[in-house]
Every structure is written in structure tokens, then in C-alpha cells.
Structure 1
Amino acid sequence: MKNTILIGACLLFAQQLVKAQSSSYKPVEGKIMTEWAAQVTPENVHREYPRPQMTRENWVNLNGLWNYAIRSKGQAVPTSYDGEILVPFAVESALSGVGKTVGKDNELWYNTTFSTPKKSRNDKVILHFGASDWETEVFVNGQSVGKHKGGYDPFDFDITDHLKSGKSQSLQVRVWDPSDEGPQPRGKQVNNPHGIWYTPVTGIWQTVWLETVPEVYISGLRNASDIKSKRILVTPEVAGIVDGQQVKVSAWKDGNMIAEQTVNPAEMAKLTIKDAELWAPGNPVLYDLKVELLDGKKVVDAVGSYAALREISMAADENGIQRMMLNGEFLFQYGPLDQGWFPDGLYTAPSHEALVFDIQKTQDMGFNMIRKHVKVEPATWYHACDKMGMLVWQDMPSGDMGNGWEMKVGVLGNQSDRDRTPESEAIFREEWKEVMDDFYNFPSIVVWVPFNEAWGQFKTKEITEWTMTHDPSRLVNSASGGNFEMEGTKITGDIIDLHNYPDAKMPDPEIFGKDNILVLGEYGGLGLPVDGHVWQQKDNWGYQSFKNQDELYARYAGLIEHLGKLVEAGLSAAIYTQTTDVEVETNGLMTYDRKVIKFDVSKMKSLHSPLYNK
């Protein structure tokens, strides 16, 4: 009886402790919030598995309340902290519980502890970060385990040798982010937010997690497909490989194995899929994969994944105009410019439900594509696009601005490339490669966009041609909005991309259509501020503002009517600005807090449907 009472008392104390930790957290007040913000707690914050393209069961989520400190740049690990921060929300965000700016002269420090992972003697423990902006150094039990530079790509460290005996381990993280005062990719972040430039995002902004793996383990997968041979192609990477070990790759559909092959590590498995279905909007067929590392008959390691049969290409139509082809057929691609910002979490959605909400509403309105604009999302976002059948154009986040651009005869941006330092160039190249490699497996991504509107654009021909060589399976839009490298009428890359506000226009098909895919990379920007749902009460703007939803819809319907004529004339894709309002921009399909949809969803779908039948 005494033991029962003692156990009960311990459980009650633990429950009270958790409740006390939760009650100590609250978002920063003063900004509009999404409906999901009220549901965020330290215990439930982003608990979903963060790497859907390579899954394991043995993992631990480290999101929650950590300690934080803002200190002058260059100081040692702090001995005291300023308060608590909710990871993985950036320190400037409301949902972090902090809402402070750091700046280039300071560093943001984190401190937490985690339980010693259960593992066998030779197992390794890997510490993963979905993303942290920008320069991140990680300490385990007071020892530095490594540094990472890059705000948008996932990274990890093997911390096995830094673990100590006992039940608990300490973790400190140092982050430095100069925002727009440094040369690094940073997208729309600036220290002085205004217009189309938004609040800085400093520090951890995606899930932090631990994974236990065997001494020899599957460290990566590269999934592709060949629709002509109806094959899924899987190339496994194995860390610490031992002679004689092999990898068995199998494909599954509805719980049934439909193909398998055993190959040597680093050798490509080619799985022929009987009765294969091609992935496309409206038919997002995915095949589950199981990848097992074998030592004889013993399974040393195993991961889950998935793949699709999908091909993106270009080909001339009956008029000799280059068209964007999906699985060998022309499909007009139409979607919003998607910035991926939230008023409460900034770069980080309040929850997975919130993250997927934007994709779902976009699809409900009849769009079949999203241009992810100068930001990279968590892997779970692309996984949702894969499952829902949403095409994605992926921008590289811009940085090291300085050069401008100007319109030339209403068709092309014309500006010389920026002269960037060797350090700045190296930072860009390294992170662009990492982004392309880390998100290669997602079939929803069909276009890479290395540059936008000459923002920090440099060595355009070289970067574009490298991008095309590094991933020949996708199309490349070298410079969305202009500032192209040209030889005659041929643009470097596959696409010529015009930006025009607010009306729909296109590059001249007679001049450019024989060699390039014709795209309207941005247009629209029709604004409607909704009282009670704006970032600030005054000085909001859109490219053209309206008084009510009826006026807004009437103008938008006129844009679509003209857009349809451009599709018939040779336009392959268009992007409307934008998915949601963002800070002082009020030109979204939805308000920034996602509480007001400015357009009738069913009317929008009916309006868009004819575009895909041209």
C-alpha cells in the first residue's frame, strides 16, 4: 500500500511539474494570430516525424521549452540564461514566447537537457536539426560537436563520442545571424521590415531530434523514376559499410510487395512496377519503399521511404512553341506565389495542420502548382504536396542584394550580374547544392529557380548550367522575372519568365517561343485589407487595392479571362501573387491569420478549371 501511495504521489508531482512548465509558457501578445496558435503547447509542438523520405522508428523529438540567452558575439557558453524559448519557433516570433531581435552584433544561445538514448554498445546517436538560421554551433556536455552554415537545409552531427555516463545529457546551441547585413541567403528577411521585406528569423526554426542507428547504417537514399521503362530507381548510401553487405530494396502498394531487388551499397536498384500509374495532380500515386541493409540473412538496418513515377520535360507543340510537359503531355501549371510566412510563427507554421492548410486551400481553389518563393519548407510540407498531387516550383532563397533590375521593352529584365565576394559565392553555391540534394526525392518538385528578379544574382550562366547538370531530371528557371543570359533568342536554362503587375502578360512567343518555355512568373497582387486581420492598422498595401470581395473577384475574373487567351497563344505556366497576406502586404488569397478567405473557393475552382483544357 505504501508503494502504491508513493507511486501515486510521484505521478501527481510529475503531472503538476508538466502543468507548471506549460503554464510558464505563453505567446508574445500584440500581433494577429492564426487559429492554431491557441493549441500550441510545449508538449505538443510539432511532434510529427520530420523526415518522411527516410523513416525510422527509433527517434526522439527534442522540441519544447529550452533556455535561451542573447549575448554579445564571441562570448563563451553562458552560465545563466534570460528565460525560456519554445523550440522550434524563431526568437523573433510570437510563438517562441520571446519576441526579441538579435542582430549581427549578438548571438542567440540555447540550453536544454535530454535523456540518454537507449542503445546497444556499438550504436550511434545522431542529432538532427531541420533548419537553423544561420551559423549554428552545437555543444554536447560542453564540447563542440560541429558547426553548420545555412538557414534552409537540414543538418546533423554524430554525437555518440560526446555522450557521458548517466541518465541525462546537456545540449547548448549557439546561433549567429546577420540577417540583411550579411551575404548569406536570407530570402525576405530584413532588420527594418517594410513593404515586401519582413521580420528577421534567427535561430532554430524546424524540429530538433535524435536518432539511434547501428554502427553500419543506411545514411541516405536517392529516389528517382523512369516512366518509359516503368521503373523506380533507388540508390542507397551506407555509412561504415562492411565487405559483403548488401541492400534489399522493395516497392509496396496497399500493403502488398510489388517489386524487389538486392544490390550492393551505392548501386542503383531498378524496380519494375507492374501496372504502374504515373503521379500527377488529380492522381498522386505514391509507392512505398522498404530499404534493408543485409549482412547475409541478418537485417542490420532498415528504413522506410516512398517514390513516384513522374517526368517533367519540354517539347514543342503543333505551332513549334516549347511547352512544359508532365509525363509527356502538356499541362498548364497555375498556382500562387507562396511565401510560407505566419504572423505567429514567422517561418514556422504553428502546427502541421496549419502547414498543410495553405496547400489544401490552394488546391480547393483549383490551383495545381505552388511556387515556393525564396524560402525552403520543412520536408513534411513537400511530403504533403506529394500526397495531395500539388506541383512545386522551388526557389533558392536570395541574399547579398545590391544589384537592381529594370524592364527592357516590356519583356526582359536587364541588369548586369552582381559582383559577389568569393566568400559570398561559396556560401550560395554550398547551400543551393544542399537544398537540391536534400529535397531531390520529392516528386512534387518539378522546377528549380536559382534566382529571382536579380536579387543577388551572379554568374547566371554558370550557376544555371551547374543546376541543370546537377539535376537533369527537372526544369530550371534561371532568373524568374528577368535578367537573363541569352545567346540569340535562347535563354540560359529552360524557361523565360516575365513578371508583370497586375495584368497577365507573356514573353513574345514569336521571338522566344521556339527555344524557351514561356512563363508568367508573377502577376496579380490584387489587395484587400480586412479589418481585424491585418499585421498593422495603417500603411498596408497591394499592387492594386479594392474595397470589398465583390470588386476583388470581378477584377480577378477579368485577369483569368485574359490569362486563358495567353495559354492558347503559348503560355505554359503562371503564378499569381499570392497565397496569403504577409505582414503589410494585403494581396493574399487569404488574410495573414488564415481566418478570412477573400475569394469564394468553389467559384475560384470553376474559374480556373478551363485553363487546364486549353
Structure 2
Amino acid sequence: MPRPPTAGPRPRRRPAPRTAALATAVALVLGGLVSGAGPATAAAPAYEKKVPPLATRWTAEVGPANALPEYPRPQLTRERWQNLNGVWQLREPSRFGDGLPFGEDLEERVLVPYPVESALSGIQRSMDRMWYRRTFEVPAGWGVGTRATQQRLVLHFGAVDYDATVYVNGRRATGHRGGYDKFSVDVTDLLTRSGPQELVVGVEDLTDQTWQPVGKQRERGDGGIFYQGSSGIWQTVWMEPRPAAAVESVDLVPDVDTSSVAVTVQVPGASRQRVDVVATERGTGRVVGRVTGAPNVPLTLPMPGAGFWTPDTPTLYDLRVRVLDRTRVVDSVGSYVGLREIAIAPGEDGRNRITLNGEVLFHNATLDQGFWPDGLSTAPTDEALRSDLELHKELGFNTVRKHIKVEPDRWYHHADELGLMVWQDMPSMRTGGRPPVAAQQQFEAELDEMVREKKSWTSIVAWVPMNEGWGEWSREETGRLADEVKAQDPTRLVDAHSGVNCCDSLGDSGRGDIVDFHQYVGPASPQPDATRAAVDGEHGGLGLKTGAEHEWFKDGRSFAYELTTSSEQLTDRYVQVARDLQSLASSCALSGSIYTQLTDVEAEVNGFVTYDREVEKMDFARVRAVNEEVTASADGTGGPRPDPGPGTPGLEGVGSWPADEGTGDVAEDVVGDADLSLRGGATWSPGRTGAGLQLDGTDDWAETAGPVVDTTGSFSVAAWVKLDREGFFTTAVAQDGPVRSAFFLQKTGPENRFAFSTASQRALGTEAPVVGRWYHLVGTRDVSTGEYVLYVDGQRQGSFTSCAAGDVSDGPLTVGRAKFDGRAVDPWPGALDQVHAYDRALGAAEVAELFASGR
């Protein structure tokens, strides 16, 4: 039973640990224990697990006999295989030109497949270059290299970060570049006739010293939103025998309209062979469909009466795929498929929504980074890998955004079985600057490979090539990449750019299927357009510190976008933000939302659980209840725009401050009772007409005692302004909310333009302001249309439309500063005069009249 909401964070429920003996038994059943890591001298060290800064409940379970022993490729299975995870030899060379370490006993022992920076690897330090070495024996029963069986031996690498070269028995087998995709090599012709075979892998990983795709990895975790990098072999290494005419992949495209699947069985080099595909019902083995035909071309597998895959009913069907040479079975593999369709279609209100199997379904997701305190990029065990996805279901989410990282195949397999839709990011290049042409080409190649490898997972419903402009080199090129991904996989959605409104983004290319905004704490409020649905691609970041016992940094280096002081307060804020999301889902026609984030990660303490997955930081029953309510209510029906009413007529407004006093510490409101009090040394100077307020741009401003306009409705603000010097962001008029100003009549920093802004969008002016010149600024918001408009000197300039209810403002109207993240920001360096506030949106003619009057 959940603890009451007044209680503090609670320990996570711990499943019974899987013992090393059980894991060893699993390894024996599936593929046999790995061979030893080569002859060792008496002086050679043994593997020794290091102590991580933070352990998980699975840390103690990991050892040489059970390093991820599970079958690593669930969507294409063969009976015979052998896991090569375990203890390998390791050397850290200063450079690779010093000679290959064939036949040598290397100095260190590393547990593969945990990255060398992790505690589980036994190394726990950063390396730019590394040699891995071990030996293995090919089981005699596999018949590899014999004429009778014609079996070939293939080595598989789940992922190696970043540049890898593989040698077998002193000869180069293959090379590979890319830290997140798998690769394989046929080594049959490199084997000795019998006995141990020597395997050496050279790896170079310069992380963020180059433009290689790294996602959140950095050479050193920065104590912020980037984390400790992971180098070397970080996914399972294994081998299998297979025939020359072998199944390379089984590509699956379901069609819910015809209850069938287009199956392409890729068999390179096939000539006269045929393929036979049989679909059976899980649990009963009942045959539901069969097709026979040529390899390497799409075959239609009819599955009449088959159930559809959804988050509530994740129905999957097993496949048996055989390659036939006349009647002889040449190769046989297992696979599976789920019938589901993802698309964009109008909801009942006519605005574009995402549909699953023809029905509108809100994608309620978390941002999932996929990092672990003991294994870094690699989960300590398969049980741990699955547990994060199970946590999504426990919390009432139906979707997960895999954030700028690619996971092992088993992660997607678990998502398929649990019923979680996946938005798959492409790992981004580093931030800062623009990548050179060679890096652009490599990024594209790795993006193409990611889609090729992962496009048959039922759970993946969307591709995300770009995040917040990280590594982006051209808005037009981002649009081109989105088009190419869509051409490569037309069955899934493409979110061309998550957070197109944020950070390093070069702007909206207009391509893809999704309009995606980020806003912290948010939620964000994009709207669908004529061809695209809209999602809040990131919001949240609500945090709670739980103490050094469960935090990565023991020196208090932790942060969140908004910190709370208790589990109850954190839960309350989550529910409040979810209610805001529920409103936006209706008014903005949102199709999805992604909350930051599932777990704490290093310095970030904004998870539902701590980084070690030990402490539940919120009341999970309340979280689940509100999440399910949000998902159910966002059904595509939408809602009418509010009627703003007529407001107060005339150009005096509901607040008017001529600022003609010229002395004292109060500027009188001549139409109301909301006088401006001068703060921090604000003073007087000649104004546009008469006297005006004079600010030095440090910590002086003027403010009312409380709010003047209702920022959730229609309103306008106006002022004459003059800048005495250039600056970054500077705000003339705003009104405080609990965390930030509800609006900003301002000069921006990056664009150096006047603007009327909210926290997520800006209506920009057309020209840079001139220091020492007076300008008349007006910002209007019409709640009936959602339009924000900026006027400069009586002329309409920038505008934007927001479907969101305006931010709630419970604080003072401020002149000469704003509020953001709970702090006073954006001081105005110059003079201000004739400030007005209105409880309606002024029209263009009224604004022109106000400007001409000089008031």
C-alpha cells in the first residue's frame, strides 16, 4: 500500500535478487559459459570490481560468470550461440603505433561489456585508447569450416564506443566507426584448425574532444546536464555459427487495415532458396498466418483476426522463419511481430493528432537518459534494464523518449512486451559551434544505420534526428534529414527537431510530422499546423534532494529546474503541472508530452526515483492517477476558445503611470490605485513628456503592490522607453508569477530586438534599437485567438499565437526588471515613461492613436 502523501521519500520495493548461481545456469542453458580470457602469468591481476560513487541493488550481483548472459538479439534468434562477455585482458596505450599486442599477457583485467569508466568494469578511469584481448574456442559440434556443414562463424559486437578494429589470430577482421550501432564480421577464414583463437580489439574514443555523436556523454561529467562518458565495449560480444545462405534480418511492416504484415527476409547471396514464415499465437502456439516466397523481397503474411498491439494490450505474435533449398532447411531463426499503426490524422476538433491503430491516443512519456551509477551507459543486469521500463508502467506512462542514446536490443524487446511506445532520439554531436562537413556526413551515416537496425521494433513509433540544435549545422539540412528518415521508414513518425524553440536551435524547418517545443518547468504549448501534430517535447525538471547517501555528488552539487523541500510538495507540484498539461492538451491540441525525467542522473535530482533507483521521491499512487486522467482526457475533442469580454474602454486603461512626479519614491497610478514604488535607488530624469523614471540597469526598478492585469485573459501593456547603453536581455514592463514573469515587454539578447515575450515564445521587432532614442512599445494578448502582438512606434511588427492559457501572475507589475527562475533578472539601463496597462487587447488603430498622442 502506498504511503500517505504527507510521508517523505520511501525506499523502492526490491525484487528478490538473482543469484550469481542462477545467472550462471542461464548462461549455460543459452549459450555456454565464455572461454577464459587467455593465458595469464602469475603476476597478472585478477578482475576486481570497483566501488561506484553510488551502488544499485544489482551492483553486487555482477561478476565474471554473469556479465549480461542473456541472448542479445531477441528479434532474430538462433539456437546455437556463445556469449563472449566476461573477463578480458586490457592495455591502455599512449598511441596505437606501438605495435599490436598479439600473444601478449596484457596488464589489466576488465569485465566486458561494462565501459572502462564504470565501477563494474573493474577499471573505473577514463581512457582515450584501449586494447582488449581474450581467447575463445569454437565448439566442435558447430561444424564451422567443414565441407559437410558449411557453417560460418560470425562475431557480433552490440556496440563499441567509438572507433574499433577487430583482429583474430593476428589478422585484421574488420573495422567499425560509431558508438551506438552494432556490427558483425565473419571470421571463419581467420581461424586456426583447432585450439584457442586469439581475439584482439583496439578502440579509440575521444568523446567530446571530436564531433562524434556522443549524446549526453562528456569526457568528464560537468555537474550539470552532461554525464561521465563511457568508452570501449559497452554491449554484449557474442558469436554464432550460421550457414552461407543465412538470414541477415527480418524486416517487418504491419498493416492493421488488412491485418497482415509485410515480411522481408534478408538472405544475402541467396539464389534458388525460398523462405517460409509462420506466425503463431503466443502462449498457445496456434498458427495465425503463413507465407512462402522469395527472399529479399516483401511477402504479405496474412494474420486474419490477429489482435492489435497497444500500451494496454501489447499483443505479440511469434514468427518461425526458415530458408529452404528445395525441401532442405538451410537456416532457421525465430522472430516476433506486433500489429500496430502510428499516423497523423485530424481529431474531432479538426486539428491534427497522433493516432494509434486509427484512434487518437495521447503519448504520455518521460525523458529516459539510460544512465546507471555503477555501469554508466550499460545497465548492470537485464533485470535492471527492464526495471526502468516497468517503472514507466507503474507511474501510468504509456511512452518513453529514449533521450539521445541508443539502447541494446533487449531494451526494445522489453518495451515491446510491456507495451511502451518509444520515441527514439539520434545521439547528438556536442554543443557549441557548427560541425565540419566530415562530421555532418558521419552523423548522417550513423542516423541512417540506427533507423535501419531498429525499424522493426513494434514499440518504436517515432524518430527524433535533432535535439535543441545540438550539433545542428543548417535549418534546411535538418529538414532534409527529416525527409530522408521518413523516406527510409515511412511507417513511423519523424520529429525533425525536438525543442525547435530552444537553445541552439536554428529554427523550424517545417518538415517532419511533429511540431515540438521544450519549456521548463512548463508545460510547453506548441500547436498543430496543416500537416503536423504538436507535442511538448520536454517539460518538468521538478526536483528533490534526498541526501548524500542516494546522490552521485557528495558535495551537494545537485540541481533541478525547480527544487522542492519534501516528497509531498514535489508530488503536489507534479500534479499541478500535470493539470496544466491536461488543459493544454485540450486547448493546444497536444498529442503528447515528455516529462523530465525518469530517474535522477549524476547532478540532476529531478527524477521520480533517485539515481540508484532506491528511493521513490513522489507519491506514486497520485502520480499514476493524474497521468491516467491526462491520457484519457486528451482524446482529440478539444475545446472552445474563451470569451474575453469587452474590457475597460478608452486609452487610459486600468493602470496609468505618467511618471511626472520628478521626485520622491512613488509614481502615481492616475486611473487606479496601483501606485509604482521605486526600488533599489531608482530615480527620475527627463521623460518622453515631462519627467520619467531613470534606472541604471543594475538592481533598481519600480513595482506595484500586487498584480494589475489578469495574465490568463486578454491584456495589453505600453511604455515609452529609452536605452542608455547596449545590454543583453533587458525588460521594460513585466508582471511576476510564482517562478517567472507571465510576460516580458523587453529587448532580447541574441537577436538584439524589441520583443513581447512569454517564457517560451517571442513576438520580435524588425530592427535593432538605437541607444539614446525614445521608442513606444506596446504588447497585446487576445485570449480569444491566442495571439501575442508587438507594436513599435505605432506599427505592428512581430506576433505569435499561443494556445496556452497565460501564465498565472500573482505578483506585482514591474517596470525595469523581470523575474525568472525565482530571481530578479533583465534590469533596464535607461529611462521609461508613460506606462499603461489594459484589461483587453488593444487594436491596431488604438495603438496608433496612443503613439500619436505621446501618452
User: 1:27 deviation in Å?
Assistant: 2.1
Matched, 1:467 2:485: yes
Contact between 1:249 and 1:269, CA under 8 Å: does it hold in 2?
no
Query: What residue in structure 2 maps to residue 320 of structure 1?
Result: 350
Contact between 1:135 and 1:149, CA under 8 Å: does it hold in 2?
yes
Distance 2:454 2:192 in 1: 34
Matched, 1:115 2:125: no
User: 1:514 deviation in Å?
Assistant: 3.6
Paired residue type of 2:112: V
Distance 1:157 1:401 in 2: 34
| Residue of 576, 585, 597 corresponding to 1:567 | 585
| Residue of 213, 222, 230 corresponding to 2:242 | 213
Distance 2:342 2:440 in 1: 29
Paired residue type of 1:55: T
Q: 1:245 to 1:157 in 2, by over 3 A?
A: same
Distance 1:77 1:601 in 2: 54
Query: What residue in structure 2 maps to residue 203 of structure 1?
Result: 232
| Correspondence 1:215-254 to 2 at 5 A | 215-242=244-271, 244-253=272-281, 254=284
Cα deviation digits, residues 57-104 of structure 1 (max 9, x gap) = 11000000000011012232234422100000000001001001113x
Distance 1:226 1:428 in 2: 31
Distance 1:28 1:486 in 2: 46
| SS of alignment partner, residue 239 of structure 1 | coil
Distance 1:513 1:599 in 2: 36
User: 1:505 deviation in Å?
Assistant: 2.6
Query: What residue in structure 1 maps to residue 79 of structure 2?
Result: 57
Matched, 1:528 2:556: no
User: 1:567 deviation in Å?
Assistant: 1.2
Cα deviation digits, residues 464-498 of structure 1 (max 9, x gap) = 111111111000101100136657xxx21111111
Contact between 1:238 and 1:265, CA under 8 Å: does it hold in 2?
yes
Query: What residue in structure 1 maps to residue 454 of structure 2?
Result: 439
Query: What residue in structure 2 maps to residue 25 of structure 1?
Result: 47
Matched, 1:517 2:526: no
Matched, 1:540 2:540: no
Query: What residue in structure 2 maps to residue 37 of structure 1?
Result: 59
| Correspondence 1:409-424 to 2 at 5 A | 418=434, 420-424=435-439
Contact between 2:571 and 2:622, CA under 8 Å: does it hold in 1?
no
| SS of alignment partner, residue 116 of structure 1 | coil
Distance 1:300 1:190 in 2: 46
Contact between 2:163 and 2:176, CA under 8 Å: does it hold in 1?
yes
| SS of alignment partner, residue 71 of structure 1 | coil
| Correspondence 1:118-267 to 2 at 5 A | 118=140, 119-120=142-143, 121=146, 122-194=150-222, 195-242=224-271, 244-253=272-281, 254-267=284-297
Query: What residue in structure 1 maps to residue 602 of structure 2?
Result: 583
Cα deviation digits, residues 253-301 of structure 1 (max 9, x gap) = 1212221111011122211112121111011011111110001111111
Deviates more, 1:88-97 or 1:193-202: 193-202
Contact between 1:525 and 1:587, CA under 8 Å: does it hold in 2?
yes
User: 1:305 deviation in Å?
Assistant: 0.2
Which one has a bigger Cα radius of gyration? 2
Cα deviation digits, residues 363-396 of structure 1 (max 9, x gap) = 1110000000000000000000001100000000
Distance 1:193 1:327 in 2: 42
Paired residue type of 1:109: W
Contact between 1:232 and 1:308, CA under 8 Å: does it hold in 2?
no
Distance 1:299 1:485 in 2: 54
Distance 2:94 2:330 in 1: 47
- Unaligned runs of 5+ residues in structure 2 are 1-32, 634-855
Query: What residue in structure 2 maps to residue 282 of structure 1?
Result: 312
Paired residue type of 1:575: I
Distance 1:30 1:444 in 2: 32
User: 1:402 deviation in Å?
Assistant: 1.9
| SS of alignment partner, residue 72 of structure 1 | coil
Query: What residue in structure 2 maps to residue 94 of structure 1?
Result: 119
CA-atom RMSD, angstroms? Answer: 1.7
| SS of alignment partner, residue 33 of structure 1 | coil
Contact between 1:365 and 1:605, CA under 8 Å: does it hold in 2?
yes
| Residue of 607, 611, 614 corresponding to 2:630 | 611
Distance 2:268 2:317 in 1: 25
Query: What residue in structure 2 maps to residue 408 of structure 1?
Result: none
Q: 1:577 to 1:486 in 2, by over 3 A?
A: closer
Cα deviation digits, residues 141-170 of structure 1 (max 9, x gap) = 111101000000110000000000222111
Distance 2:312 2:89 in 1: 46
Paired residue type of 2:626: L
Paired residue type of 2:471: G
Q: 1:503 to 1:485 in 2, by over 3 A?
A: closer
Query: What residue in structure 2 maps to residue 47 of structure 1?
Result: 69
Q: Per chain length, whose mean CA-contact separation is higher, i.e. which structure has more relative contact order (CA < 8 Å, sep 6+)?
A: 1
Matched, 1:495 2:553: no
Contact between 1:316 and 1:514, CA under 8 Å: does it hold in 2?
no
Paired residue type of 1:245: Q
User: 1:503 deviation in Å?
Assistant: 2.2
Distance 2:70 2:413 in 1: 12
Distance 2:331 2:113 in 1: 29
Cα deviation digits, residues 338-372 of structure 1 (max 9, x gap) = 00000000000000000000000111110000000
Contact between 1:372 and 1:394, CA under 8 Å: does it hold in 2?
yes
Distance 1:292 1:485 in 2: 49
Matched, 1:386 2:386: no
Contact between 1:126 and 1:212, CA under 8 Å: does it hold in 2?
yes
| SS of alignment partner, residue 300 of structure 1 | strand
Query: What residue in structure 2 maps to residue 361 of structure 1?
Result: 391
| Residue of 592, 595, 614 corresponding to 1:595 | 614
Distance 1:128 1:354 in 2: 23
Query: What residue in structure 2 maps to residue 402 of structure 1?
Result: 432
Matched, 1:77 2:89: no
Query: What residue in structure 1 maps to residue 829 of structure 2?
Result: none
Contact between 2:168 and 2:199, CA under 8 Å: does it hold in 1?
yes
Q: Quote the sequence identity (%).
A: 40
Contact between 1:320 and 1:514, CA under 8 Å: does it hold in 2?
no
User: 1:30 deviation in Å?
Assistant: 4.8
User: 1:115 deviation in Å?
Assistant: 1.1
The TM-score with structure 1 as length reference comes to 0.91
| SS of alignment partner, residue 583 of structure 1 | coil
| Residue of 432, 439, 455 corresponding to 2:470 | 455
User: 1:25 deviation in Å?
Assistant: 3.2
Paired residue type of 2:619: D
Distance 2:373 2:430 in 1: 25
Query: What residue in structure 1 maps to residue 440 of structure 2?
Result: 425
| SS of alignment partner, residue 552 of structure 2 | coil
Distance 1:500 1:41 in 2: 42
Query: What residue in structure 2 maps to residue 334 of structure 1?
Result: 364
Query: What residue in structure 2 maps to residue 558 of structure 1?
Result: 576
Distance 1:400 1:196 in 2: 12
Distance 2:573 2:47 in 1: 45
| SS of alignment partner, residue 357 of structure 1 | helix
- Unaligned runs of 5+ residues in structure 1 are 1-13, 404-417
Deviates more, 1:55-64 or 1:455-464: 455-464
User: 1:613 deviation in Å?
Assistant: 1.8
Contact between 1:485 and 1:492, CA under 8 Å: does it hold in 2?
no
| SS of alignment partner, residue 416 of structure 2 | helix
Distance 1:49 1:228 in 2: 33
